[in-house]
Structures are given as structure tokens and as C-alpha cells.
Structure 1
Amino acid sequence: MDCLLVADSAQLIKRSRYAVAAVFCVHGAVTGSFATRVPWIQDHSGLSAGELGLALAFPAIGAALMMPLAARITHRFGTRAAQRGLLVLWTLSLILPSFAPGLLTLCAALLVYGGTAGMADVAMNALGVEVEHRLQKSIMSGLHGMWSLGALIGSALGTVAAHAELSAQVHHIIAAIVLTVIGLVVCQFVLNIHPEDDDEPPARFALPPRSALLIGAVGFCAVFAEGASLDWSAVYLRDILDSSPAVAAGATTGFALTMAVARLTGDAVVNRFGAVRTVRWSGVIAVIGGVLVVLAPNAVAAMAGFGLIGIGVAVVVPLAFVAAARSGSNASQAIAGVATITYASGLVAPSIIGGIAQASNLTVSFIVVTALTVALAIFAPVLRTRARVDV
């Protein structure tokens, strides 16, 4: 009887692992669908590079305001219901930005977009860490690889839509409906964990312990490069290298592809070489990619550079979550804090890139991105982990 219970439990965890992977994929598909149509949205709203950068700051504001609520929602409704509801809000929010006629309405739409994105992201990463702990083996890089695969699928379909000159409004309505249905189905199989009746609800706001701050800083640099490349690669090729809209959108697809491949194979690489060596060499690769983007004489070279940036930053965030969980006695607080830092980085990066571009140009913006990737190689040792302490 005990053997049967163990087998059933193992099967449940295995099923939950695949379900969480699918949740990551759906979340990434929303991001990829949005990113490839940023040039269309910019033209539709009549925005300059600086105004677009300002608008792209509002997802960060929305995330900062709403991410702390994710833990309380999960505590109130349990992991399955919370993940289902938050993911659906995120998929449906994709529709809003493309209907914005100007700067103010776009800012409002992106505020909602960022808030729902942040809450869904926190919920799925918490589930991923819990499944990894129960499996007793590394899966977080693979889960983030599924996010990148979803971003690849979303951006690839966005490239097709751009090439067919389909409006982002029609494209995003179709994508939102499809992704919502998929999200509702896969969330039926994630872990359904409810807090004990006497558990205190989590704090509304929680800073990570000091031991996790450097981890968050390394994650910040990696996600900054990721967010800048994902949202601005298409614009870079269009404005700096005079590429066609279809070719420019292909840069985002190529970046998402390299991210997906690197993350899907990341667990094996980390198990072979360790977190520190993996991140150190990843930083070197990202620096080479950034230099190639800045010096690129044509679209092919720039796309190769963005691909190398993708490879270089791919495994850093999953390893940051694992290191955070093992950085102190309060694992959940450390994970929440580092998640807030890293996710906010990805959301503020596009607006900072836009501000720099407005003051100078996008080439200077990616010089800044390249400088930040140097930190990955230098500060890789902070991601060294020790055994997890349960509380």
C-alpha cells in the first residue's frame, strides 16, 4: 500500500512538472506575441522613441504594484486556482496595447499588462521551485526554457503576422483567445497546495535578505539585457540597419530561439560544470554578442549578436532563483525578493533603452547593455549555492 502511495505521489509530481512547464510556455507566448508587434504599436500610436520608452516603463510600474499581491492570492485561493486566474488575466491583457490610440492610453494598457504579467510570473516560479524541491533535481532552467520556447512561438507567429501585414489588433485578439484556452486546460494539472488554516498570510511587501541582494543584482543585469533585446531588437534592425519589418521581426524570433535552446539544455550544462563556471562563460558570450550588435554592418551580423546575447543570459535567472532559495533560512522571502528585482529589470529595461535612444541613438543604448553583461562574468561566484534550508 505504501509503495502504491509513493508511486501515485511520484506520478502527481511528474504530471505537475509538465503542467508547470506548459504554464511557462503560455506566459512566454504572450510576451513574444507582444514584442514582435512593438513597431506596429509604436506607429499606430504615433510615438517617438522616447515616448515609446516612457510607455514601456508602465509595465514595470504595474508589476511593482501588483507582484507582492501574488503570494497573498495564492495563500487565499491555493496554488491551482491562483495560477489559473492570474494566467488568464495575463493572456487577456495582451489585447489592450494594440488598441491604444495615443501615449496616455498606451501607458494605461501597459500598466495592466505589466501588473498581470508580474503576478502570473511570481505564481508560476513559486510552483516551479516547489516542484524542483520535491523532485530533488534541477528543472528550473528547463522551465525557463519552456518560457523561451513560448516566446519563440509567439514571436514566430508575430513575424508571420507582420509579414502578412495583419494588424496587431486582430493578431492579438486571436492569440489571446487561443492562449487563454490553453492556460485554462493546463492549470488543471498543476500542484494544488492550500495553506494550513492557522498559517499567517504573507506580508504585502518583503525585501530579500542581504545574502540575496547580490544574487538579485546579477539577475538584474541578465534580465536587463534580455528585456532590451526582446523589445528593441526589431526596432534596432529597422531604425539602425534599415531592415524591412519582416526581417526586423525575425531578429526577435532569433533571439527567442537561442534563449529557448540554451535554457532547455541549461540543466545538463549546470550539472556538468556548476553554476559559477556556467554563468562566468555565459557572461563572456553575452559580451561578445553585445559588441557584435553595436558594430554590426548589416542585419545578419546584428541578428547573430542578439543570438549570442540570448545564449549568454539564458541560464542566469533560473540559477538566481535556485541560489536565492538556498541563500538563507527564509527561502520564500528570498525568492520573492529576487523575483521582484529581476522581473522589474526586464520591464524597466525597454524604457531605459528608449530614453538613451532619444538622447543619442539605439547603438549607444546597446553599448550600455553590453557593459552590463560584463557583470555576469565578474560576479558569477555569488550564484554558488549550498543545501536548501526548509522553514
Structure 2
Amino acid sequence: MSTWFLIVIYLAFISLGLPDSLLGSAWPVIWPEIGSSLGSAGIVSMIIAGGTIVSSLFSKRMVERLGTGRITLFSCFLTAVALLGFSIAPSMLWFIVFAIPLGLGAGAVDAALNHYVAENYKAHHMNWLHCFWGVGATMGPMIMAVNLVNSQSWRGGYAVVAIIQFLLVIILLVTLPLWKRVATTQEKLLSKDGELLENFHVEAAATTKLQTNVLRLRGVRPTLLTFLLYCGIETIVGLWGASYLVSTREVTADVAARWISLYYGGITVGRLTTGFIALKVHNRFLIRYGQLVTIVGGVILLLPLYSSLSLFGFLLIGIGLAPIYPGLLHETPSRFGRENSARLIGYQMAVAYTGTTLIPPLFGSLAVHTSLDLFPFVVFTLLTLMFLSTETINRLLIKPTQGRG
């Protein structure tokens, strides 16, 4: 039952990824139609991310009162309504209004499901969970590209994704009684496996007890910085990548949407692959080498190569990003203690979405006042800072013993 129930959780993460990539892939044709501006995508993204921050901070209390199942069900309903609203939006004001429930719904389900999987399943399941987010994020631009080619309209893309979300709401309603039952079963299995430390001595987890202020725990602050930078990078590439390709590399809007779809496809395939690799290799190594791959992709974007080679840079960044986010999340209970993991995962989600909130609109403002040509330079700088941050975490916390890795 626990294995089959994972399918429901994976479907929920597909639905979480679908809307994340729609705005950036369609924005080159949205803003002229609704009478907005190029930089306004950053405002919409900021409002969505602001909603996710609020719901992430309160996720622990909401899960304790309502349970993960109900939170997931209600959140998916909110996102479905918001996407339907986007599909009929006549102006920028409508985008701003419906961005609020989209953000609130996404943040609540993201934090709740991440904590549920971190507590109840092994590391490879966390990678595969976020792989299915990548499936949704990859499907989003594809759906949009098909609508742009066939109907010359972005509205149909949003309508299709809204329908998919409503179908998921029905599935979640039917499976609502299973959440507590599966959690009880998995807790017994994991306690037998001794999965938590995965053959590593983690100094923080060994000495940590329940903390009223988890921000004082050793290694928490660079961890939060990494989450902020990760989501900022992931979003800035997804949101502004298509606009950069259209304006600077002179490709058409539908081709740019497909290229961004392949970027998310890199994240998806990377997480599927690292899910298997995580059976033998510790998260720390997957995170480190993933970051090195992203930096190589960033260098390719920086170089004055043919436009077609830029696609390879986007693809490498996507593949490299794949293990970072799920790996850091799954390490939370072992690094900082199970007693603190629920609250800290909520904080991590909030800080991650702060990166989503601040970094893309800041770049949008910079691009409006200067040029989108700065896109690869900004991406490369952020990737380098994220690598330095994760290495700081490793120096503070991890002491490997003899064994795998």
C-alpha cells in the first residue's frame, strides 16, 4: 500500500511543477496582449512566491491541525482555480489577483509533501518525488508550445493545466483516508532499517534535541542561504530564459518555449537518475557534483557560441540542479534532528521562495534598465555562490566514516 500510495504523491508533485514553468515560457506573448511590460513577469512571480512563503511558514501548524492529506487536497484546489483564472485574465490586474491563491496553494503542498516524504521514505524516493515535479515543469512549456503553434494563444495552455489540476483534486479526495495509515506503516519500516544516518556520522544530528529556535543550530544559516540561491537560480532560468533566447539569441517564441522545456527536462531526467544513484552514493556527493555540472552549463551560456549550443548549457544547468534541492531536503532530519525537521523544512521552503520572490524580479528590473544580455553572467555568479555555500555546510556538519560514498 505504501508503494502504491507513492503514485498519488508523485501525481501531486507533477501538478506542483506544471504551473511553475508556464509563466516564463508564455510571457513573451502574454505581456503584449494584456498591455503589460516585459519586466512585469517578475511582479507576478514575486506575488506567487510571496504566497508560498506565507503558507510555508505556517505549514507545520496547518499539518498538525488538518493533516497532510487535507492540506494537499485544498492546496491543489486553490492552484486549479488560480490557473483557470489566468486562462481568462484580460489584464495584468487579473494576473496579480490569481497569483495569490496560486502561491498559497503551491507553498502549502510543497512543504507538507516534502516533510511527509523526508519523514516516511528513503532518500531515493525524495529524488524521484522531485523528478515528478520536473515532469510537470517539463510538460508545462510543452503544453504551452503546442497551444502557441496550433491556436496562436497562450490561454489554452493555462486552461489545459487547470483541467489537469481539477482531475488531481478528485484523486486526492478519493485517497484522503490513506495518508495517516501509510505514515504509520512507514514509520515502523524505517525504524527497523536505521536509514536515518545512512552510514554517516552527522555531528549536528547526534547532539541535537528539540530546539525552540532552530536558526541557532549549527549549519542552518548556510543551508538556508543555499535554498535561497537554488530557488532563485531555478526560477530565473525558467522565467527569463525564454525572453533571453527571443531577444538576444533571436529564436522564435515557440522554439524558446521548447528549449526551456528541455531545461526542465534536464532536471527531470537528472532526478530520475540520481534516485537510483542515491541507493549507493550519499546525498552530499550528489549535491556537490551536481553543482559542478551546473557551473559547466553556466560557462557554456557565457561563451559566444552558436544559439543551438546554448541549448546544451540550459540542459546541463537543469541536469546539475536535479539532486541539489531534494538532497538537501532529505538531509534535514539527519543533519538537524527529526524533532526539528518539520519546523526547519517549513523555514527552508520559506527562504527558498524568498529567493524565488526576490531574485527574478531584481533581474527583471536590471534587464529593463540595461539588457537581457546580462542573463548568463547573473546565472553564472549565482551558481558559483551556491556552490561555495554548500561546501560551507559540508565543512561544518559532515564527518564521513568508512563506508560508501
TM-score range, shorter chain: 0.7 to 0.9
2:124 to 129, 138, 152: 138
Paired with 1:208 and 1:336, the residues of 2 have a C-alpha distance of 12
User: Relative contact order (C-alpha < 8 Å, sep 6+): which is higher?
Assistant: 2
Matched, 1:112 2:101: yes
Greater mean deviation of Cα atoms: 45-54 or 213-222: 45-54
1:217 to 217, 225, 246: 225
Q: CA deviation at 1:149?
A: 1.0
Corresponding residue to 1:349 among 351, 359, 362: 359
> Which segments of 5 or more consecutive residues in structure 1 lack a partner in the other structure?
1-11, 196-204
Q: 1:337 to 1:167 in 2, by over 3 A?
A: same
Tell me, yes or no, if structure 1 residue 268 matches structure 2 residue 276.
Answer: yes
Secondary structure in 2 matching 1:366? helix
Query: Alignment partner of 1:48: what SS?
Result: coil
Paired with 2:358 and 2:214, the residues of 1 have a C-alpha distance of 19
The amino acid of 1:30's aligned partner reads: P
Please name the residue that 1:91 is paired with: 80
Which segment is superposed worse, 29-38 or 278-287? 29-38
Contact 2:262/2:315 (<8 A) preserved: yes
Does the C-alpha gap of structure 1 residues 129 and 299 become closer, same or farther in structure 2, counting only changes over 3 Å?
A: same
| Equivalent residue letter for 2:45 | L
In structure 2, what is the Cα distance between the partners aligned to 1:160 and 1:146? 21
Alignment partner, residue 259 of structure 1: 267
Deviation at 1:209, TM superposition (A): 4.6
Deviates more, 1:25-34 or 1:250-259: 25-34
Counterpart of 1:367? 377
Answer whether contact 1:225 1:313 (CA < 8 A) is retained. Answer: no
* Matched residue, 2:164: 178
Q: Which amino acid aligns with 1:111?
A: I
2-structure distance, mates of 1:348, 1:369: 14
Q: Distance in 2 between matches of 1:137 and 1:368?
A: 32
Aligned to 1:50: 39
Distance apart, 1:208 and its partner CA: 4.3
Within-5 A mapping of 1:1-391? 12-132=1-121, 136-186=122-172, 188-189=174-175, 191-193=178-180, 208-210=215-217, 211-329=219-337, 330-381=340-391, 382=393
Matched residue type, 1:96? G
Determine if contact 1:296/1:302 at 8 Å carries over to the other structure. Answer: no
User: Structure 1 pair 346/37, CA: closer, same or farther in 2 (3 Å)?
Assistant: same
Q: Deviations over 1:73-92 (max 9, x none)?
A: 32222222221111121122
Equivalence for 1:6: none
The Cα offsets for residues 152-211 of structure 1, whole Å up to 9 and x where unpaired, read as: 12221111112224422233123202221134215644642399xxxxxxxxx9864543
**CA–CA distance in 2 between the matches of 1:245 and 1:306?**
16
Structure 1 residue 137, shift from structure 2 partner = 4.9
Tell me the CA shift for residue 121 of structure 1: 1.4
Q: Distance in 1 between matches of 2:149 and 2:358?
A: 29
1:65-108 Cα offsets, whole Å, 9 max, x none, are 33333333322222222211111211221123344444444323
Q: Secondary structure at the match of 1:242?
A: coil
CA RMSD, 1 decimal = 2.7
Question: Aligned with 1:14: secondary structure?
Answer: helix
Which whole-Å deviations, capped at 9, do the CAs of 1:128-152 have from their partners, x for residues lacking one?
22331xxx45311111001101111
> In 1, Cα distance between the equivalents of 2:66 and 2:43?
35
State the SS of the aligned residue for 2:124.
coil
Distance 2:357 2:240 in 1: 12
Aligned residues of 1:55 and 1:107 also touching (Cα < 8 A): yes
**SS at the partner of 1:326?**
helix
Aligned counterpart, 2:189: none
Task: Flag structure 2 segments of 5+ consecutive residues without an equivalent.
Answer: 184-211, 401-405
Kindly state the Cα deviation for residue 235 of structure 1 after the two structures are TM-superposed: 1.1
Farther off after superposition, 300-309 or 268-277: 268-277
TM-score, normalised to structure 2, is: 0.82
Shift of 1:230: 1.2
Quick one: which amino acid aligns to residue 377 of structure 1? F
Percentage identity across paired residues of the two chains: 21
- For 1:386 and 1:321, the matched residues in 2 are separated by 19
Q: Aligned AA for 1:154?
A: G
The residue matched to 2:179 in structure 1 has which SS? coil
**Conservation of the 8 A alpha-carbon contact between 1:58 and 1:108:** no
CA distance in structure 2 between the aligned counterparts of 1:173 and 1:317, rounded to whole angstroms: 29
Distance in 2, matches of 1:375 and 1:220, equals 11
Aligned to 2:198: none
**Distance change >3 Å, CA 79–CA 108, structure 1 → 2:** same
Which of 325-334 and 225-234 deviates more? 325-334
Indicate if the aligned counterparts of 2:266 and 2:319 stay in contact, CA closer than 8 A. yes
Equivalent-residue separation in structure 1 for 2:17 and 2:222 (angstroms): 26
